[in-house]
């Protein structure tokens, strides 16, 4: 029988997670699962995880009071619960591993076509494009938000029910071994690696460490599964070579199995190209602006083709895709000003691609205004990466450049060393200051580009710029009201 919440009992769960019954009856039924004491609902199974800041074991009295039907704890942990205890308690050696083991078992109770995506850049966009294709024909499960790690991915899989027919899951990581474990849990029918770039270097050392970590997917994926790789990424292909897997490649070079030709960047109106596969050619229209999305579209097409989706559905799905918040989103401000909000995250690879994609947006009399936040988790490459970021901005011929964060100085220095005008480049202390600086110089026809790592929060700058009145206008309005 297919595993379902509301039917699953403690007795059925004990074996997959290798648990020992501590208190309660094996006949207990669970209506759902949670690892967050704040979201526990009556009937849920609560998995007590220990993180860097919180330990779920400390919240057990709270979740029992909320009506949790079961608790999964780490064996040997001193835990308090009421007497009599209305919840069943089970102990395992490692609750995080048990969560993954349960998701592994749960996934295999459901007959679905499942695709998994990893890579340094483009995972979320590729996932969303793939889902846009699959959802034309099937109910499709996908990660929400940042549910792409050793907690989020199992919790996503554990929402599977018999109504789902497809799943597309993003796999993130910042330490060796994570992709291997996620691949084991998900058991993909199709696995895809978007690329290898200098990202998460704090935990991986250098780009070779990144490549080794991403290629863990090939180590753990089933021999019967299909694998899609970026065929333009030489390092990725080199690391994949020793593995005997059914590999299809995608990219722009002629050697790829799936490739794009006749690419035309339409600026704000998106991109068109011909999708080449085997002896077939099919027109593709992307409505989202930014020619860098061609790679994501090819990756999504590769997954869809391996899940036996027809070209017509692939074309329709890609055209239906409308983007992800904070990823090269176009906003039309008053005065014919375009704000390109790319504030969701940043790294050297993604920044280079985004800056390269800006030129079609600059009109005859318009200027480019650039605001960057620092890029995180770059390890020993941090200083050089930020100097290079400034160099890249200077090469765009931007009119103004503002940088924010601990390594803003390096970004500005990189720009100045490349000849950027000193009086038009500035280190910014906070979001409000960046908003004021941009609004003070913006004029009709300008393009404003914002990008930074998520924790820098440049989305607040984007939100402030969307308020049409300048600070000077707001100040004057306040003064006028105070006089009346």
Residue 348 near residue 201 (C-beta atoms within 8 A): no
Which residue bears the tokens 């003070």?
Answer: 440
Same domain, 152 and 228: yes
pLDDT digits (tens, 9 = 90+) for 49-88: 998 888 999 999 999 999 999 999 999 888 877 778 889 9
Which residue, of 320, 342, 376, is where some domain finishes?
320
Same domain, 361 and 387: yes
Helix or strand holding residue 315 (H, E): helix 311-320
Residue 41, SS3? coil
Same domain, 264 and 143: yes
| Cα 410 to Cα 416: distance, rounded to the nearest angstrom | 10
Helix or strand holding residue 449 (H, E): strand 447-451
Percent of the chain with pLDDT over 90: 86
Residue 433 lies in a domain: yes
Token readout for 410 is 């390096």
Residue 406 lies in a domain: yes
Same domain, 288 and 351: no
Percent of the chain with pLDDT over 70: 96
Residues ≥6 apart with Cβ < 8 Å to 404: 371, 372, 373, 374, 427, 428, 429, 430, 431, 434, 452, 456, 458
Mean pLDDT for 375-393 is 95
Residue 373 lies in a domain: yes
Mean pLDDT for 415-442 is 97
Residue 84 lies in a domain: yes
Tally Cβ neighbours within 10 Å of residue 407. Answer: 23
Phi, psi of 380 (to 5 degrees): -70, -10
Same domain, 301 and 356: no
Task: Please count the structural domains in the chain.
Answer: 3
pLDDT digits (tens, 9 = 90+) for 129-149: 999 999 999 999 999 988 999
Residue 481 lies in a domain: no
Same domain, 73 and 40: yes
Instruction: Note the pTM of the prediction, 2 decimals.
Output: 0.90
| Cα 361 to Cα 368: distance, rounded to the nearest angstrom | 9
Same domain, 293 and 206: yes
User: Would the pLDDT of 168 be above 80?
Assistant: yes
Same domain, 15 and 116: no
Same domain, 338 and 232: no
| Cα 75 to Cα 91: distance, rounded to the nearest angstrom | 5
Same domain, 337 and 453: yes
Domain boundaries, position 415: 329-472
């Amino acid at each position: 029988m297919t595993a379902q919440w509301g039917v699953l009992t403690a007795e059925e769960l004990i074996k997959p997670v290798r648990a020992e019954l501590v208190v309660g009856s094996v006949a207990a039924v669970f209506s759902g699962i949670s690892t967050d004491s704040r979201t526990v609902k009556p009937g849920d199974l609560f998995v007590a995880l220990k993180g860097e800041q919180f330990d779920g074991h400390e919240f057990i009295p709270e979740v029992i009071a909320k009506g949790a039907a079961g608790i999964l704890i780490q064996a040997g942990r001193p835990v308090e619960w009421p007497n009599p205890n209305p919840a069943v308690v089970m102990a395992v050696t490692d609750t995080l591993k048990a969560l993954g083991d349960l998701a592994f078992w749960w996934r295999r109770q459901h007959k679905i076509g499942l695709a998994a995506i990893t890579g340094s850049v483009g995972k979320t966009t590729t996932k969303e494009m793939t889902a846009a294709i699959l959802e034309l024909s099937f109910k499709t499960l996908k990660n929400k938000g940042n549910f792409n790690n050793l907690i989020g991915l199992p919790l996503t899989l554990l929402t599977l029910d018999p109504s789902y027919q497809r799943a597309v899951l993003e796999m993130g990581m910042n330490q060796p071994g994570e992709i291997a474990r996620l691949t084991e849990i998900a058991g993909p029918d199709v696995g895809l690696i978007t690329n290898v770039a200098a990202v998460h270097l704090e935990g991986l050392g250098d780009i070779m460490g990144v490549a080794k970590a991403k290629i863990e997917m090939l180590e753990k994926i089933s021999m019967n599964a299909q694998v899609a790789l970026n065929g333009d990424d030489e390092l990725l292909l080199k690391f994949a070579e020793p593995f005997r897997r059914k590999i299809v490649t995608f990219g722009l070079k002629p050697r790829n199995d799936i490739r794009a030709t006749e690419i035309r960047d339409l600026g704000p109106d998106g991109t068109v190209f011909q999708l080449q596969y085997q002896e077939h050619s099919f027109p593709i229209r992307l409505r989202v602006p930014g020619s860098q999305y061609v790679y994501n579209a090819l990756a999504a097409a590769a997954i869809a083709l391996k899940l036996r989706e027809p070209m017509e559905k692939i074309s329709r799905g890609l055209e239906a895709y409308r983007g992800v918040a904070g990823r090269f989103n176009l906003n039309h401000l008053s005065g014919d000003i375009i704000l390109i909000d790319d504030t969701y995250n940043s790294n050297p690879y993604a920044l280079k691609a985004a800056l390269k994609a800006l030129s079609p947006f600059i009109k005859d009399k318009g200027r480019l205004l650039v605001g960057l936040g620092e890029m995180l988790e770059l390890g020993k490459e941090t200083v050089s990466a930020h100097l290079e970021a400034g160099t890249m901005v200077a090469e765009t011929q931007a009119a103004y450049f503002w940088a924010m964060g601990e390594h803003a100085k390096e970004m500005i220095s990189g720009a100045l060393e490349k000849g950027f005008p000193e009086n038009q480049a500035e280190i910014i202390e906070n979001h409000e200051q960046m908003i004021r600086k941009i609004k003070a110089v913006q004029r009709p026809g300008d393009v404003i580009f914002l990008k930074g790592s998520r924790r820098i929060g440049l989305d607040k700058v984007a939100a402030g710029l969307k308020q049409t009145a300048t600070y000077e206008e707001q100040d004057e309005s306040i003064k006028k009201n105070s006089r009346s």
